[in-house]
Each structure stands twice: as structure tokens, then as C-alpha cells.
Amino acid sequence: MQIATLFLASLVMHGPAKLEIKDIVVGKGAPAQAGDLLVVDYTGTLLSGTKFDSSKGGAPFAFELGAGQVIPGWDKGMAGMRVGGKRSLVIPSEMAYGDAGSGPIPPKSTLKFEIELYRIDKKGAKPAITMSTTKPGTGAGAKTGDTIFVHYRGSYLNGTGFDNSYDRKQPLKVTIGTTRLIAGFTQGLEGMKMDEKRTVIIPSALAYGPGGRGPIPPNMALKFELWRVVGENQ
């Protein structure tokens, strides 16, 4: 009995000898490969169940797969994931923070991560917004040089909001092609009719890029819900 107890304690302390990958939800589309930009939510725990980090409730995390921007267990363990997928990783210390540990993570710790993949921007692909109309409008579509008013809600791909015009009770006044906005936001307004509502997903390359801005982390794709209104008092 004592030997069994000691053996179990050794497993808990040292964890598995190799990376363990388990797909909870497989997801759809092309698999993630080295060089792709991924946007994920994650929660990290020790084998004891103690949580040491999580992106939930805030901005997701974006990184280039295979570029050494994350621990080796992530670079290897995230390969092959598809958008909408959820994956569990159990990462031995040799592929995590090793003998040194990091912050709340003790030395030689095996780590467990639950990860959800929201987006893949494929290496070398031309950046483009994706857009859907949620309410049709009327009249002529907005074009370069037109001045329009638009309400918006900005959020990350996990639904956490970072800015909206409704809190200020005033829509944004935009002269298309003149007002300085991120490129993807301007593109999302083009052709918009009066009272139309749109949802626009903007890749990082057409938003704030690798530098980020304010609360928006580097390499972050953004979601905007847009509504073209009559004027400033809407």
C-alpha cells in the first residue's frame, strides 16, 4: 500500500513524460500550421487543479504558431486544430517552464490547458474582412467621400466588448476615405445603406496589427456590429 501511494505521489509531482493531446471538439476548416496566426481562449491549471492563468473574461490571446512565441508544448500541441475546436493539452515541464518555473508555476510543473480556437489567419493569405448584413437598409449605399453616422459595438471574438458608441449616446461621424479609422472598419462601411445593420470581422492586419493599441492586444482580430443612422442625435 505504501509503495502504491508513493508511486501515485510521483505521478502527481512529475506528471506524464510526453505531451498529451485530446480534442474535445474537432472544429471545421483548414488545420492550423506553422506560420499561421491563431486567436484562442485558454485556461491553464497545475495537475493539482490550481488555476494559474486564463484569458476568459478578457481579450483572447493571439500568436504565430511555430514561431517560439509560446511554450514548446503549445507550438506542438496546437498544430492541426481547426476553427471552433476545443482541445486539452497536458504538457510536461520539459515542454513548458522546466526547472525554473515561472511566476505562480513551480519548477518542474506539468501543466494542463483547455484551449478554444476562434480564428486562423493562414500564412501568406491576403487579409480581408468578413461581413454579414443583419438588417437590410434603404437608399443608396455609402461611398468614398460620403459623410455618414454609425453606431457600433466593438468586441473580441470571444464576445468580450472593448468599446461602443451607445455608451456615449452619440454615433460616430465618418467621412469615408477621410476620417482616420482602421482599414477594416472603413471597408465595413462601404456600400452601407440607411438603417442597415452589419456585423464585420476584421483581421489583425486590417486593425491594429502586431502593435495593438490601448486595451487591444497585438495581432488581435476584432468584431464590430455596425448600424448606419440618420444623424448625431440617434
Q: Is 97 an annotated catalytic residue?
A: yes
What beta strand segments (E) does 104-221 contain? Answer: 111-121, 130-135, 147-155, 161-164, 172-175, 197-202
CA 176 to centroid of chain Cα atoms? 28
- The C-alpha torsion from 164 through 170 and 173 to 179, rounded to 10°, is -40
Q: Is 53 an annotated catalytic residue?
A: yes
Q: Is 71 an annotated catalytic residue?
A: yes
Q: Grid coordinates in use for 29?
A: 476548416
Q: Grid coordinates in use for 14?
A: 512529475
The active-site residue out of 97, 156, 185, 208 is 97
The active-site residue out of 113, 152, 185, 224 is 113
The active-site residue out of 42, 63, 149, 152 is 42
Q: Grid coordinates in use for 114?
A: 483547455
DSSP state of 2: H
Q: Is 167 an annotated catalytic residue?
A: no
The active-site residue out of 36, 61, 71, 216 is 71
Q: Is 113 an annotated catalytic residue?
A: yes
- H/E element, 4: helix 2-14
Q: Which residues are the active-site residues?
A: 42, 52-53, 71, 97, 113
